[in-house]
Amino acid sequence: MTRPAKRPTSADVARAAGVSRATVSYVLNDRPGQSIPQETRHRILEAARRLDYRPHASARALAAGRSDIVLLAISALPIGPGISRLIEELDAALADNGLTLVTHLAGSRGRPLPDVCATVGASAVIGLEPFDDGTIEALHRAGAEVVLPVRDVAPAMNEIGRMQAEHLIERGHRRLGYAMPADPALIRMAEARLQGVTASCAAAELVPPVVLQVNLDDPAGVVTGWTARKVTAVCAYNDEIAIAVLAGMRDQGLSAPADLAVIGADDIPTARFAGPPLTTVCFDAHEVGRRRAETIAAGLTGDQRHPLPAQPAPRLIERSST
């Protein structure tokens, strides 16, 4: 059995370049205040490239006084297109600030988040849901310099539902439905969005929306439930549920928006290709990622002027389903 090749060290780079390990460290860590000839720098970088040298994260953390690891805690939420997009944008924004994102699926049977933080040596932790005070204190004890939970998500979810309903009401609809997901992990956020829909109906002096759970195996059945109650427009929890409703309508020989207008949320990539293209409400994932990355970077450099970033306002993307 062939042994795997030994990982190159800074000593190997120093020998190949004919310099000291200290000089290698100065060059590869780009330390300021060192008068190293350009030819020497080039020789060291070329040796590192040729040997495929990569510094140990622990060594880099020791030299810098902290790691470049940012831990993202994802609770028991399904990783759908919306969350995937947010993670991608956050990862790119952190990389622009010289930081590396590591994700952790924080389930009830997994390791406690502070243990994971200590294991990976994270300097910062981001949550997609609020952390309680005890968790925040434990994360700091585990080595996190910056802990960035989200604000209470309910107001932002309420706003999405409000915007969905107001868009439909402005188009003359007076009997709304609400498409609830069947996944129990999504119910809390779905109910928060529903509260926004219900509030908009009340403000327009309309009856509350007809709430039905969408079974992805039989979306046509739920469509019949709305049409039987004279519903003319549906606010869906998210775009995936909305697209399922559109599919159920096609099975019933119905079309949007003539028979039933449908609006989703999150603007997933397939929303524009739905039949018909789906009207939706969403947050700017790029802006959300940028704000959080800049707040993390500022906190790690000791700049305390950056408070918990505000959530960008959601925006309506109007297409032909409404």
Identify the structural domains of the chain with CATH numbers, from first to last. Answer: 10-55 (1.10.260.40), 69-150+286-309 (3.40.50.2300), 154-282 (3.40.50.2300)
Say what the pLDDT of residue 62 is: 45
Say what the pLDDT of residue 258 is: 96
Computed on alpha carbons and rounded to an integer, the radius of gyration of the chain in Å comes to 26
Say what the pLDDT of residue 92 is: 92
Judge contact between 219 and 254, C-beta under 8 A.
no
Rounded to whole angstroms, the Cα distance separating 9 from 14 reads 9
What is the token pair recorded at 139?
């994360």
Contacts of 318 (CB under 8 A, 6+ apart): 167, 279
Contacts of 45 (CB under 8 A, 6+ apart): 27, 28
In the chain (322 residues long), the average pLDDT of successive 10-residue segments reads 62 87 78 77 88 65 66 81 88 90 77 88 88 90 86 85 98 97 89 97 97 89 94 97 96 95 95 96 90 89 66 91 96
* Site of tokens 């389930």: 107
What is the number of other CB atoms lying within 10 angstroms of the CB of residue 161?
A: 26
0.85 cut: is pTM over it?
A: no
Nearest to 72 by CA among 288, 268, 282, 284: 288
